[in-house]
Structure 1
Amino acid sequence: MRIFLSLLLATSAIAQVGPDYERPETVTPPNYKSAIRWRETRPLDSLPKGDWWRVFGDSRLNDLMGRATAHNQTLKAAVARFDQARAGTGIARAAFFPSADINSVITTQRTSPNMPSAFPLGGLHYVGPSYNVPLDFTWELDLWGKIRRQVESARADASAAASLMQNVLLGMHADVATNYFRIRALDGELQTVRAAVGWRRQALDIARARVKAGAGSELEQAQAETEVATAEAEVSALQNQRDQLENGIALLTGTNPSAFRLGGNSSLLPTPPGIPVGVPTDLLERRPDVAAAERALASATAQIGVVKGNFFPSIKLIGHGGYLSGDSANLFEVSSLNWNVGPSISVPLMAGGKNRAAAERSRAAHDEALANYRQAVLASFSDVENALAALRNLSTQAEAQHRARDSAQKAAEIAHARYEAGTSPYLDVIEANRSLLATQRACATLAGQRLIASVSLIKALGGGWDQSLPVTVPVATADPAARGSTAEKKGFFTKVKGWFKKG
């Protein structure tokens, strides 16, 4: 018997069905279109992201990021999912060890005089209590590595959940920054349009005065009134956009929109931060969505081994022992002791094709995970290329737009001077002012778009460039109603003491 058990344990340490996971090779271009060097993709999401938003040097943005990290409900849900996956790893790992439990049973029974017996019962039967205190013991031997594959899959799932949590964190931070810079751009437009309302009202007063003096026409006055009303309508439209973005930031920071206010800031937007010339390609490999897809592929690969283990015999060591008596007084005497122990061998013979179908499903799930991983890699390249192209093109567009604004400013001054001199109609002033307002608003919009493109590039690269800080679970404010909050995490004996104190 000892030799048999030793052989089983030795086999358990060696055999392991199913394929070992190997990261698939990924075909990648030698460099980006913007001449950034590249090499083979390997998920390195464990490298830290850092507080990348501080590169913009905006204290209000920094405050919003802190509030979002502490109170965002979607992030809290992602952290809870990670905790679930991490606990699932512990559940899978527990299968390595024996399980034992005590199932005490107290019954009143009547035995049958006709039950099978090694000797004639002669109508004898028993009516009375039965006290049974057994200890059940079970230990499944991992002969084929089925349990090891299950643990391998669970660990990969936990790692994927951690990556998805980081992806939610990165996406949430990027959304906060994007909405914030959109509001800042709108503040610049609102300042320009409100100024336009002011000087258009002044032009309206001048037109009215000219009509009263007989030097102007009612057409000029009507045109001036139209320009004032149009500018006022644009202010309301821009304010509506700003209010919606403000409510969006409130949602991201876990705040009731009714209680959230983000004051205006009409100062000029900062210049987009410079991207380091030698950005390491490892940054793209840190993208959490790519890492999550790669870990999902590893989990699917391990699941093939789990399913294959169902084709082989299963051996469990089982034991049952305890005390059985009809009288509680002698329940724990040696004479009441009963036990049995031995191996339980289960050999699969017929399952109606269930195991084969499960194997086909696991292989198909692996192929799906492989396709998702390759797609995630391709999408990461696309995101970076789009962000780099946007930064380059928006920079060129902003330079041209600034030249157009300066020209429009000069044209507006010339048209106004000619109108006052009586050599040009008021329509020329209107057209020149409209062009000036449009170019000024376009400059403010482009300034916001360039910053948003910078945020998109940082997000596409996996977040920031700081690789000196450790990766940690984001510290969020605990919900008092959450069962997993620190207020609820008490030990068993602490809870028992509490019960006695309450009593």
Structure 2
Amino acid sequence: MALPSLFFRIRPLALALSLGGLGGCMLGPDYQRPALSMPVEYKEAAGWKAATPRDGEAHGEWWRAFGDTQLDALLAQVEVSNQNVAQYLAQYAQALALTGQARAGLFPTLRGSAGMTRSGSGGGTYLTSGTGSSTSSGSGTSGSSGDGAQSTSRSVSGISDTYSAQLSLSWELDLWGKLRRTLEENRASAEASAAELANATLSAQSSLAQNYFQLRVLDERIKLYDINIRSYERYRQVVRDQYEEGQTSRATLAQAETQLESARASSLELQWQRAQYEHAIAILIGKAPAEFSLPVAERFDYRIPEASAGVASRLLERRPDVAAAEREVAAANAAIGVAQSGYFPDLTLSASGGFQSSGTKNLFTVANRFWSIGPSFSQTLFDFGATRAEVDQARAAYDAAVASYRQTVLDALGEVEDYLVELRTLETELAARRRAADAARESERVTYDQYQEGMIDYLDVATTQSTSLSEQQSALQLVATQLVTSVQLIVALGGDWQGGAEELAEAR
């Protein structure tokens, strides 16, 4: 029988056995998402303004709601250049490869080999003759001493060469679902890896947006200090002139100088803080700080986007960290079935065939062919409870994954509630702070007019100016907090991320 005919005869039997195995029982529990007690709505979302739909915007680009083109350009570089994201991307590629490897295990493996072997056997005989006075003999040797002449002879058995060409087929039949559960486990792990990649990307984007807004508000605060410093320089000069003319005291001049230098020191402190935010942004887009600079914007126009909290259950689909935790539960569930398969035997169908000859000329002939076929069973008969321990370990790992999943959901709900109440309160607080800043500026103006008219001392002017500057700075700090909290709320709600990466279609 020729080799191709042999494999055509083997294939129907193997295919039937394999299909029977693939359709056989599946060990381990079928996966069901763990039950969760989800609130219908958020506690702190009462009276929350519904967001305007943004269906026309690119999916996932949540930052565009802030309307800042510079921020858009920076965030677009995170997925491309951020090295933490690149690390998770590589891990996701690895998970996809493991899924492909597990899927390949459901099908037969065909190997081919070809080789040449040289071998020999037997011994030899040696004869030595010549002149001398001694005679020696041993295995394979004889001789005598006569006239001292010596002679040697050797006989060696033949050396043979063997040439072979062979194909071998092996197929582990998935009778108990071990291979399918392994594929299920790896597929869930790949989906978890995809969600972790999305979570790492979202986290990097969130950090960049927060740093960006902090930097922009610092620019505004530095500008405010610069304006006040120029005013304080003029005030000090006026007071100095008055002091030199004997119209005011040395204490008044010292007060004006203290006010000026204090403002300069505060401005310098904000400048190094700004530099650190700039460095952080550079790292987030994969650049060395020396290679990146963000110029001061001529004007900082910001807007707080409307964020819809929606129903709480949407977190299960929208937050990538929640999705990753849930997929880890699915992987742990499949691992139970893999562990339970250790109680049952493995069945492997193997077949091989080929040609073997002492020469290459007539190697591929019917007379030189050989073949073999047969099933192979393997079963652990006694392992002192090792298999049972593996099953118990898998069940415990599943329970741990479920607890982690539920805790992740609780943490997510808590974050959303925190940012909802903070953002809602900040809106009212900022309005009050702006009213206070307006009142402080008016008080500063009136007080300075009174000082010009000689009605009050400069100490009163300095006090009202300091209060006015402090109120304006506090209002800007609240703007930064409001912007950062707005970013945090959007991210806590999952951004615009939706579970189910397109790449996983290849892994299914």
Shorter-chain TM band: 0.7 to 0.9
Q: 2:333 aligns with which of 290, 296, 301?
A: 301
Cα distance in 1, alignment partners of residues 15 and 247 from structure 2: 114
Q: Given that residues 61 and 180 in structure 1 are in contact (C-alpha distance below 8 angstroms), is that contact kept between their aligned partners in structure 2?
A: yes
Q: 2:102 aligns with which of 78, 92, 117?
A: 92
Cα distance in 1, alignment partners of residues 268 and 60 from structure 2: 39
One-letter identity of the residue aligned with 1:425: D
Residue 463 of structure 1 pairs with residue 473 of structure 2: no
One-letter identity of the residue aligned with 2:63: W
Cα distance in 2, alignment partners of residues 208 and 142 from structure 1: 95
One-letter identity of the residue aligned with 1:213: E
Give the equivalent residue in structure 2 for 1:55.
65
The change in CA–CA distance for 1:112 and 1:398 in structure 2 (over 3 A counts) is farther
Q: 2:466 aligns with which of 408, 419, 434?
A: 434
Give the equivalent residue in structure 1 for 2:143.
none
The change in CA–CA distance for 1:252 and 1:4 in structure 2 (over 3 A counts) is closer
Cα deviation code 1:180-237 (max 9, x no counterpart): 1111111111111111111111111111101111101122222222222111111111
The change in CA–CA distance for 1:470 and 1:29 in structure 2 (over 3 A counts) is closer
Residue 421 of structure 1 pairs with residue 480 of structure 2: no
**What's the offset of the Cα at 1:152?**
0.6
Aligned partner of residue 104 in structure 1, secondary structure: strand
Residue 28 of structure 1 pairs with residue 38 of structure 2: yes
Cα deviation code 1:139-158 (max 9, x no counterpart): 00000010010111111111
User: What's the TM-score once normalised by structure 2's chain length?
Assistant: 0.83
Aligned length: 451
Q: 1:388 aligns with which of 388, 395, 420?
A: 420
Give the equivalent residue in structure 2 for 1:349.
381
Q: 1:180 aligns with which of 189, 204, 212?
A: 212
Q: 2:231 aligns with which of 190, 199, 204?
A: 199
Give the equivalent residue in structure 2 for 1:14.
24
Residue 316 of structure 1 pairs with residue 351 of structure 2: no
Cα distance in 1, alignment partners of residues 157 and 255 from structure 2: 112
Equivalence map 1:274-289=2 (5 Å): 274-276=306-308, 281-282=313-314, 285-289=317-321
Give the equivalent residue in structure 2 for 1:398.
430
**What's the offset of the Cα at 1:472?**
5.5
Cα distance in 1, alignment partners of residues 158 and 379 from structure 2: 39
The change in CA–CA distance for 1:79 and 1:98 in structure 2 (over 3 A counts) is same
Is 287-296 or 400-409 further displaced after alignment? 400-409
Q: Given that residues 103 and 135 in structure 1 are in contact (C-alpha distance below 8 angstroms), is that contact kept between their aligned partners in structure 2?
A: yes
Q: 1:215 aligns with which of 238, 244, 247?
A: 247
Give the equivalent residue in structure 2 for 1:250.
282
Give the equivalent residue in structure 2 for 1:105.
115
Give the equivalent residue in structure 2 for 1:498.
none
Cα distance in 2, alignment partners of residues 355 and 402 from structure 1: 69
Aligned partner of residue 175 in structure 2, secondary structure: coil
**What's the offset of the Cα at 1:277?**
7.6
Cα distance in 1, alignment partners of residues 190 and 205 from structure 2: 23
**What's the offset of the Cα at 1:10?**
3.0
Q: Which runs of 5+ in 1 are unaligned?
A: 38-47, 114-123, 474-503
One-letter identity of the residue aligned with 1:206: V
Equivalence map 1:444-455=2 (5 Å): 444-455=476-487
Q: Given that residues 65 and 176 in structure 1 are in contact (C-alpha distance below 8 angstroms), is that contact kept between their aligned partners in structure 2?
A: yes
Cα distance in 1, alignment partners of residues 158 and 390 from structure 2: 49
Cα distance in 2, alignment partners of residues 431 and 5 from structure 1: 92
Q: Given that residues 194 and 501 in structure 2 are in contact (C-alpha distance below 8 angstroms), is that contact kept between their aligned partners in structure 1?
A: no
The change in CA–CA distance for 1:266 and 1:384 in structure 2 (over 3 A counts) is farther
The change in CA–CA distance for 1:22 and 1:163 in structure 2 (over 3 A counts) is same
**What's the offset of the Cα at 1:269?**
4.4
Cα distance in 2, alignment partners of residues 278 and 308 from structure 1: 42
The change in CA–CA distance for 1:413 and 1:313 in structure 2 (over 3 A counts) is same
The change in CA–CA distance for 1:337 and 1:218 in structure 2 (over 3 A counts) is same
One-letter identity of the residue aligned with 2:86: K
Give the equivalent residue in structure 2 for 1:292.
324
Q: Given that residues 391 and 454 in structure 1 are in contact (C-alpha distance below 8 angstroms), is that contact kept between their aligned partners in structure 2?
A: yes
The change in CA–CA distance for 1:344 and 1:243 in structure 2 (over 3 A counts) is same
Q: Given that residues 167 and 289 in structure 1 are in contact (C-alpha distance below 8 angstroms), is that contact kept between their aligned partners in structure 2?
A: yes
Q: Given that residues 38 and 312 in structure 2 are in contact (C-alpha distance below 8 angstroms), is that contact kept between their aligned partners in structure 1?
A: no
**What's the offset of the Cα at 1:344?**
0.5
Cα distance in 1, alignment partners of residues 46 and 105 from structure 2: 48
Q: 2:202 aligns with which of 161, 170, 175?
A: 170
Give the equivalent residue in structure 2 for 1:493.
none
Q: Given that residues 269 and 447 in structure 1 are in contact (C-alpha distance below 8 angstroms), is that contact kept between their aligned partners in structure 2?
A: no
Cα distance in 1, alignment partners of residues 421 and 98 from structure 2: 43
Equivalence map 1:256-275=2 (5 Å): 256-265=288-297, 267-275=299-307
Cα deviation code 1:304-335 (max 9, x no counterpart): 10111111011100112212223333332322
Cα distance in 2, alignment partners of residues 55 and 335 from structure 1: 79
**What's the offset of the Cα at 1:4?**
11
Is 73-82 or 442-451 further displaced after alignment? 73-82
Aligned partner of residue 380 in structure 2, secondary structure: coil
Cα distance in 2, alignment partners of residues 367 and 277 from structure 1: 30
Aligned partner of residue 103 in structure 1, secondary structure: strand
Give the equivalent residue in structure 2 for 1:160.
192
Q: Given that residues 36 and 279 in structure 1 are in contact (C-alpha distance below 8 angstroms), is that contact kept between their aligned partners in structure 2?
A: no
Give the equivalent residue in structure 2 for 1:410.
442
Give the equivalent residue in structure 2 for 1:335.
367
Q: Given that residues 103 and 133 in structure 1 are in contact (C-alpha distance below 8 angstroms), is that contact kept between their aligned partners in structure 2?
A: yes
One-letter identity of the residue aligned with 1:193: Y
Give the equivalent residue in structure 1 for 2:138.
none
Cα deviation code 1:111-138 (max 9, x no counterpart): 699xxxxxxxxxx987433323221210
Cα deviation code 1:252-272 (max 9, x no counterpart): 112221121111125344231
Cα deviation code 1:399-420 (max 9, x no counterpart): 1111111121122123222322
Q: Given that residues 40 and 313 in structure 2 are in contact (C-alpha distance below 8 angstroms), is that contact kept between their aligned partners in structure 1?
A: no
Is 318-327 or 292-301 further displaced after alignment? 318-327
**What's the offset of the Cα at 1:425?**
2.2
Cα deviation code 1:367-413 (max 9, x no counterpart): 11111100111011011111101101111210111111112112212
Cα deviation code 1:91-110 (max 9, x no counterpart): 00001100011122323234
Q: 2:273 aligns with which of 236, 241, 247?
A: 241
Residue 69 of structure 1 pairs with residue 101 of structure 2: no
Cα distance in 1, alignment partners of residues 502 and 348 from structure 2: 40
